[in-house]
Each structure stands twice: as structure tokens, then as C-alpha cells.
Amino acid sequence: GCLADIAYNLVYSTNTNALKLSNTGDKTPQTYIIIYNNTLVNTGWRRPTAKGGSVWVESTVRADLYNNLFANTRFGIKRDPKKPEDARSAYSNNWYYGFDQVTVNQFQPGSNDVIGGKNDVISKVAGENDPKFVNYPLNTAVNNADFNTSWDFHLQGNSPALAKGITNFTRHHAAGIVMKNGITYISPAPSTFVGAYGNKN
């Protein structure tokens, strides 16, 4: 297993899940992943049959997810009901936006094995809780695989997602982990905004 922090990434238009988290084989140490301040857009729609669409948890993995922004993802965070995650997993302060009602319906907790978290912002109707990206048309087709480099996923100054993150959790590698090449990697501190980018200065 592994102890990993995943933070400040943009994931766009993956075929199925943006992240699949598993402890298959009951590894020692147990796989424990802390995922925070990421932006996921249009993930999961290009798979012909529905399965996952944002983050998938299974097989006793321990997973903590905070401050992640899900925009037009096919589903919310999902578990494998036959092989669920570790019960100590934590989910909090994640943000869900859907441009149309089909998308919104598919990330509601309690349906399709979707997991809800503490203080999550989960839209109930299409267009609710617009994160206000600086430059991204939220009506972009969800199965679009072409990334436009002019898009800007920073948050506008009036974005409601700017102050919805939390910082009072412990990441694995705040003190750093030394790689084989001698470089020390330090996991960045979490932010009070939701998503990967925050406000553009």
C-alpha cells in the first residue's frame, strides 16, 4: 500500500474515473490517500456504459477528500458496495456543480452508491452554485475531449467557492518525503478555497 497526498491538480475529461483508490490485497501498510484542493471537470462521460465518474473508492482503502471542486462530473465520489472503503474515510467541504439536470441528479448522495460528505456544497438544480471560473464555458459538452489552453480554472473574485475550504486536517507529507534521487517532496498546505487554483491575482 501507499501513503499519498494528491493536491492542486486539474483533471479534465477522463474516460471513467479521475482517481481510482483501492487497497486490493489488503496491503501493509494500508493504502491511505488524502486528496484535497483539486478541480475535476467533465470526468466520466466518455465511457459508453456508466460506472464511475470522479473518484472511486474500494477494497478497504482509507481515503480523505477535502476542498475538491467537481464541475459537470458524471457522478460524485462513489464506493464499490461489494468491497467498500475503510469506515474511517472522511469527506468534507467538496463542491459539486452541474450545468444540466441529468448531471446534477447523478451526483446526489444516496443514489448510484454516491457518497456525501460533511459541509459539502451539492447543487440540487441545474446551474446552482456556479463556481465562477475565470474562463471556462460551463455549457461545454460533457464528452468533449479537446482541452483549450485558453481556459482558466482560477476562481473569479466573487466566486462562492473562495471561502468554502478547510485547512484543519493533517496531510501525510507536510514535513517532506525524500525521493530516491535525493529530492525532498513536501505536500503543499491546503487552502481555504475549493478547487486547485483559487483567485487569480
- Report pLDDT for 65: 99
- Report pLDDT for 114: 95
- Report pLDDT for 28: 85
First-to-final CA distance of the chain = 39
Radius of gyration, CA atoms only, the chain? 16
CB contact at 8 A, 153 and 41: yes
- Report pLDDT for 137: 98
Could you tell me the CA-to-CA distances from 87 to 10, 39, 81, 93 in Å, in that order?
27, 25, 12, 18
- Report pLDDT for 25: 86
Domain boundaries, the chain: 1-201
Distance CA 102, CA 100 (A): 6
Q: What pLDDT tens digit does each residue of the chain (201 aa) get?
A: 899 999 999 999 998 899 999 999 887 889 999 999 999 999 988 877 777 779 999 999 999 999 999 999 999 999 999 999 999 999 999 999 999 999 999 999 988 899 999 999 999 999 999 999 999 999 999 999 999 999 999 999 999 999 999 999 999 999 999 999 999 999 999 999 999 999 987
All cell numbers assigned to 139: 455549457
Pairing between strand 78-79 and 10-12? Answer: unpaired
Output the CA torsion sign for 55, 88, 106, 132: negative
- Report pLDDT for 1: 85
Query: How far is CA 108 from its chain centroid?
Result: 15
Distance CA 37, CA 18 (A): 14
Question: What is the pTM for the complete model shown?
Answer: 0.95
